[in-house]
């Protein structure tokens, strides 16, 4: 697999953000709320993690942004997936499934242990 634990954590946040943007453009708060609602509030994304990730992903060309007006009539930056972002999401999802499968192998009960 070749990724460190830190890479998987950062990559997981990016994958979650990309998935949150698949239905359409959203502002940062909307991305965080979407992830929270999809996980029954089990995953809460803090601003200090979310916005650096959004900016990093924008620099990589996975998302792009435009300014608009939010539902509460405030100016907000809306993010949307690019074609490069769609490709990255597919790759990240495949890498995530491989990682989960590997962890599941390690976590199987070991014969002969209490």
CATH architecture of 5-106: Orthogonal Bundle (1.10)
Span 24-54, pLDDT tens digits: 999 999 999 999 999 999 999 999 999 999 9
Residue that the structure tokens 């539902």 belong to: 71
Residue 24, helix vs strand vs coil: coil
Q: For residue 81, give both structure tokens.
A: 């997936």
* Domain coordinates in residue numbering, the chain: 5-106
pTM for the predicted model, two decimal places: 0.84
Span 78-100, pLDDT tens digits: 999 999 999 999 999 999 999 99
pLDDT at 113 over 90: no
pLDDT at 1 over 60: no
Cβ(95)–Cβ(1) below 8 Å: yes
Q: How far apart are the first and last CA of the chain?
A: 31
């Amino acid at each position: 697999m070749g990724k460190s634990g830190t890479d998987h954590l950062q990559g997981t946040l990016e994958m979650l953000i990309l998935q949150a943007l698949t239905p359409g453009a959203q502002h940062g708060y909307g991305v965080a709320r979407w992830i929270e609602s999809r996980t029954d509030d089990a995953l809460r994304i803090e601003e200090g993690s979310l916005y650096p990730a959004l900016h990093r992903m924008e620099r990589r060309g996975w998302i792009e942004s435009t300014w608009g007006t939010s539902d509460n009539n405030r100016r907000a930056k809306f993010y949307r997936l690019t074609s490069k972002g769609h490709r990255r999401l597919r790759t990240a999802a495949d890498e995530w499934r491989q990682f989960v499968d590997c962890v599941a192998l390690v976590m199987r009960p070991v014969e002969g242990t209490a």
